[in-house]
Amino acid sequence: MHSTIESIRNNFRSDLINVNNHQDLEVIRVKYLGRQGILADLMTQLKDLSADDKKTFGPACNQLKAEFQELHQQTQALLFAREQELIARKAAAFDVTISKPLQQGSLHPYTYITQEIEDIFMSMGFAVADGPELETDYNNFGALNIPADHPARAESDTFWLPDMQRLLRTHTSTVQIKTMREQTPPIAIICPGRALRNEATDASHDFMFMQIEGMLIDKNISIANLLAVLKEFLDKLFGKSLQLRVRPGFFPFVEPGLEIDAQCPFCTTGCSTCKHTCWIELLGAGLIHPNVLRNAGIDPTIYSGFAFGSGLTRLAMLKYHITDIRLIHSGKIEFLEQF
Ligand code: FA5
């Protein structure tokens, strides 16, 4: 027993010599003084000794423990003093007069375009609304008059949670429902935000992209109001007067439903951006379906409204001539430095 105690003492001391920082010291404390450490193990061995040996080695083990605790504390104090000295030396060497050229960052293109769009709509009296990206089946589909057999509900499009009741919103139209429940007409909001779809990616499709939703509800709102607002918005965003082309479109939550193309802002005779058609598909829109108003507690015999939803990613691509959507989320510095 005597030689065991001596050997533990020597090992502890030689382990301590190699300690350079608090983490190393903690490893050694646990190894020797921890609840399952070497000393705890030694103490349990005492019970197998004769009464005489217990009298000798019991106090010897306690002394060893006290000695280790003392050395541990001293080493801790030494490390702390060394750290303080290092900090003081660094502070003394810090020269506030040295000026280094700073590498300047820039905002993400999404931030630029979102700020610009928010300014345009706020100047027309719209407020900016927000909503959760984790949504219920009802808010994403049911309340928006999307029947159970609509393809948008298919698992291939939607990121469902394992309970199959909650999902990552597939569009920002969910914010229409939330806002209608929280406010009373007149309501005029836009909501820029993320949408997620379980889709394969290509140059113009990503599984996570930004949309911008718009909604206005009041008495006597018509398609004419929708077109006037959208024209003002697009003209301001692209800095020139753009022609709009309206086509019928089906979205279960609007009636009538429209798809709106804008005259290509980059050419007059056709270019690769507009695939040589001079028109670019921009958004879905329409007059809010009476079922949707009713679902959110608004009387469709008194109020009507319009809604639209555009790919904010697509607007950014058009405005900044970005040819591949995947660049936007790539985090590539060469790409981001251009903004
Ligand atoms: C919708 O999401 C409707 N909620 C829009 C709407 C709102 C219609 C209000 C009527 C009233 P859609 O699935 O077409 O519609 O998507 C709208 C836009 O999102 C598209 O025009 C496109 O620009 C963009 N988008 C859709 N899927 C992707 C994708 N995978 N990657 C990038 N952008 C996408």
* Ranges of each domain in the chain: 2-92, 109-336
Ligand 1 centroid distance, CA of 242 (Å): 21
Rounded to the nearest 10 degrees, the angle between the axes of helix 109-123 and helix 223-238 is 130
Please report, for residues 32, 69, 77, 256, the alpha-carbon distance to residue 88 in angstroms, rounded to integers and kept in the order given. 33, 29, 17, 72
Ligand 1 binding site (Cβ under 6 Å of any ligand atom): 171, 173, 197, 199, 205-206, 209, 211, 251, 254, 283-286, 307-311, 313-314, 325
Q: What is the mean pLDDT of the chain?
A: 91
Question: What's the CA gap between 248 and 261, in Å, rounded?
Answer: 11
Distance 83 CA to ligand 1 centre (A): 57
Taking residues 314-333, report their average pLDDT: 87
- Class of domain 109-336 as given by CATH: alpha beta
In a 3-state reduction of DSSP, which class is residue 300? coil
When mean pLDDT is compared over 108-112, 218-222, 312-316, the highest value belongs to 218-222
AA identity, residue 104: Q
Task: Report the separation in Å between the CA atom of 171 and the middle of ligand 1, taken as the mean of its atom positions.
Answer: 7
Specify the range with the lowest mean pLDDT, choosing from 94-103, 129-138, 166-175. 94-103
pTM of the predicted model, to two decimals? 0.71
Tell me what the mean pLDDT of segment 60-83 comes to: 91
How far is ligand 1, taken at its centre, from the CA of residue 190, in Å? 15
- Residues pairing with 128 in the sheet: 190
Decide if pLDDT at 113 tops 90. yes
DSSP code per residue over 31-93 = HHHSTTSHHHHHHHHHTTS-HHHHHHHHHHHHHHHHHHHHHHHHHHHHHHHHHHHHHHHHHHH
The band of 280, judged by pLDDT with boundaries at 50, 70 and 90, is confident
* pLDDT tens-digit map of 141-171: 999 999 888 876 776 689 999 998 899 999 9
In testing the pocket of ligand 1, which one of 206, 283, 310 has its CB within 8 Å of the most ligand atoms?
Answer: 283
Instruction: Look at residue 269 and give its three-state secondary structure.
Output: coil
Distance (Å) of CA 21 to CA 4, 8, 37, 65? 28, 22, 20, 22
Please report the atom of ligand 1 found closest to the CA of residue 213. Answer: 7
Q: CB–CB of 316/222 below 8 Å? A: no
